Amino acid sequence: MIIKRMVLHNFGVYANTNTFEFSAEKPVVLIGGLNGRGKTTILDAVLLALYGSNSFVYTESKFKSYGQYLRAFVNKVDGTLYSYVDLEFQLDSRDTENYLVHREWSATGQRTYEKIKIYKDGEENAFLADNWSMFIENVLPSGLSNFFFFDGEKIAKLAVEKTNTQMKESIKTLLGISVLDRLENDVRKIMLKNGNRSGDKLDIKKLEELRQKRDRTAESLADADARIVELETQLLNLGKKIETAHDGYTSKGGGIVAQRQELFAKRHSLEMQKERSKENLLERAASELPLNLVKPMLVNIQQQVEQEHENKISQLAVQKLQATFKTYAKEEVDSSKAIQNFLDYVVCQSDMADTKPIFGMSNTSLHLLKALTENQLDMTAKDTEKQIETFNDVQRKLDEIDSYLTVDIDEKALAKVYKRIRLLERQKLDIEVELESLFRKRSSLNGEAISANSEFNRFAESMISEMELNDDSERVLKYSHMVINILDAYKIRLQERKAETVANTMTKCYKKLANKKNLIDHIVMDTKTLDLTYLNKDSQEVPKESLSAGEKQLMVIALLWSLAICSRKKLPVIIDTPLSRLDSAHRLSLITNYFPHASEQTIILSTDSEIDKHYYDILKENISDEFTLMYDDLTRRTTIHRGYFMEDAQ
């Protein structure tokens, strides 16, 4: 992936519209800014544009909802409370397809909702917008994104005695193990549920405790309030999990599955429309439409027939005059000579204009022929053109629907995600029911007694039911234990195959970065725990506490670098404040060995004290674009300027 352009509108400290244009001619993009000028905001914007609510920055945040997270970024300087982020990129440096992600939102209402639009090669693509989560997960899974987009200030925190839990989860995602962990967790829940069932039939003590609880009618209001706060917190956390699960369902093609029946119905309707259009075209072809091919000939025929009709009328007129003259000549002998001469002249003229009859059409046939040549053929041709346009438009829509219906979807994976969503929603419903009960309990102590009595009755009924189901529970427990043992063995074998590759790659990366190249000879990753062990040339362990803070940070960078390499994905690397805790030797190592080779595009967000004039000169030959973030205290906004700390970089 190569980022070509990014636009921030009223986003964080970036008031109004601010644009980054990247040429990508060389691997490094250098963006400089003092602390608080908006460097980290750039990293947040990229993750937000790509992943939305799936961004690890949001999921790790303290915001209770995605809407609150978006609202926190709205810059209020211009008073519109409207923000958007655009991210334009190509999937590969040799790829000609251009993608633009546009996310916009407003803080004018009580709730904040996001709108997303996707443009491919300049044209809006509604299908990609509906299924963007699935598309971007195929390009760069959100679980791997922290290998490519990371904050240097947080890197040192990852260099702890044992590999960071979050990093382990990311490694498992890379190795394909996280899905096995989720499966094992679900099986353990089944075991716990059925294990509880097995003991319920003898839990008389619990039943007695519930009976005593039912008899107690005075619990303080403070206890009820504390329980309500606890349940509301659980409800908020469940809401975030459900939101994330829905995004995962969509990313795996759930949106298409939900639309499939609608698409099939629409396709059937279009097929019917196509057949009607086809029948209309056939009707045109079977009527007067083909006569358009010989229209000039029909015009000639019309002219000939009209001449024939004129001759016929002329002959009839002459015959009528001659008959009338005979009667007249008997009565007026003196003037008959002159009239006879006139009649002879008329006959002569009629004979000269006489046309030999060819077609002998009737007046009705001539009228129909004139209607064809003067109007009907042109109207039929235009109507046929419209029918052809309709037919082609329907065919184009059919082709588009067929392309959607041919998308390959893993139905089993979707079913698992859907099952998890249903489970979370049931948990949420249970908490909402209990909350409602607690509110009633808070307003009335009598409500507490009713609730306790209901709980006692449910438990008693549950005990009776579970006693009947005990045999089934034991069988489920037996096979669940077998499944967990099989999963554990498979995970170990899978980790053994891939962990060694990651460790060897990390060793190579670390040796490129470290100054004390003899201190650590190779790195080993435990195939079960994924913990890292550092060994010297004698294969003796090097204690992690013996490493300096800078060496620990380099070790984590080496881990991130190796994981990015092992993922085999050609993606940009974005590093925020990468050198803040490194000494000069380690800084030089990163600048010469890591930044130019980390990716096809490496975006560095640095202060002037990290990459100063000296390091800038060393890195200059690999820099494609450089910017400086300037903050105005009066307008409270950051603007973008070309050049890296312009005066210092000269």
Q: Does the pLDDT value for residue 99 go beyond 80?
A: yes
Residue 134 lies in a domain: yes
Q: Are strands 573-576 and 28-32 parallel, antiparallel or unpaired?
A: unpaired
Q: Crossing angle, helix 549-566 and helix 470-513, to 10 degrees?
A: 110
175: confidence class by pLDDT, cuts 50, 70, 90: low
Residue 291 lies in a domain: yes
Q: At 176, which helix (H) or strand (E)?
A: none
Q: Identify the bridge partners of residue 641 per DSSP, sorted by sequence position.
A: 628
Q: Does the pLDDT value for residue 298 go beyond 70?
A: yes
Amino acid at site 201:
K
Q: Does the pLDDT value for residue 3 go beyond 70?
A: yes
- pLDDT above 70: percentage of residues in the chain: 68
Question: Quick one: average pLDDT of 540-557?
Answer: 76
Q: Sort 384 into a burial class: Cβ within 10 Å, 0-12 / 13-18 / 19+.
A: middle
Q: Does the pLDDT value for residue 328 go beyond 60?
A: yes
List helix spans (H) across 216-331.
221-251, 254-286, 295-331
Residue 178 lies in a domain: no
- pLDDT above 90: percentage of residues in the chain: 7
Residue 489 lies in a domain: no
Q: Give the pLDDT score at 526.
A: 77
Q: What is the number of domains present in the chain?
A: 2
Q: Does the pLDDT value for residue 161 go beyond 80?
A: no
Give, as one character, the DSSP assignment of residue 52. Answer: G
Q: Does the pLDDT value for residue 366 go beyond 80?
A: no
Contact indicator for 491, 183 with CB cutoff of 8 Å: no
Question: Quick one: average pLDDT of 361-368?
Answer: 74
Distance CA(323)–CA(19), nearest Å, equals 100
Question: Quick one: average pLDDT of 622-640?
Answer: 88
Smallest CA-to-CA distance from 553 within 147, 148, 157, 43 is with: 157
Query: What residues contact 485, with CB distance under 8 A and at least 6 apart?
Result: none
Q: Give the pLDDT score at 14.
A: 92
Question: Quick one: average pLDDT of 203-207?
Answer: 60
Question: Quick one: average pLDDT of 16-28?
Answer: 88
Residue 210 lies in a domain: no
What is the rounded average pLDDT for all residues in the chain? 76
Select from 405, 426, 447 the last residue of a domain.
Answer: 405
Smallest CA-to-CA distance from 570 within 528, 550, 599 is with: 599
7 lies in the same domain as 144: yes
Q: Model pTM greater than 0.75?
A: no
Question: Quick one: average pLDDT of 40-60?
Answer: 87
Pick from 16-20, 64-68, 417-421: least confident? 417-421
Q: Please give the residue that has the higher pLDDT: either 582 or 562.
A: 562
470: confidence class by pLDDT, cuts 50, 70, 90: low
Whole-number Cα distances in Å, 56 to 1, 489, 515: 19, 30, 32
Select from 351, 377, 405 the last residue of a domain.
Answer: 405
Distance CA(189)–CA(187), nearest Å, equals 5
Residue 70 lies in a domain: yes
Distance CA(547)–CA(542), nearest Å, equals 8
Q: Please give the residue that has the higher pLDDT: either 463 or 260.
A: 260
Q: Does the pLDDT value for residue 254 go beyond 80?
A: no
144: confidence class by pLDDT, cuts 50, 70, 90: low
Residue 586 lies in a domain: yes
Pick from 502-511, 548-557, 577-586, 631-640: least confident? 577-586
Amino acid at site 534:
Y
Whole-number Cα distances in Å, 338 to 220, 326, 344: 139, 13, 10
Select from 405, 421, 445 the last residue of a domain.
Answer: 405
Q: Does the pLDDT value for residue 167 go beyond 80?
A: no
396 lies in the same domain as 269: yes
Residue 515 lies in a domain: no
Question: Which residues span the domain enclosing 14?
Answer: 2-148+572-649
Give residue-wise pLDDT tens across range 486-514: 776 777 777 777 777 888 888 888 888 77
Q: What is the CATH number of the domain that holds 614?
A: 3.40.50.300
Q: Are strands 14-21 and 28-32 parallel, antiparallel or unpaired?
A: unpaired
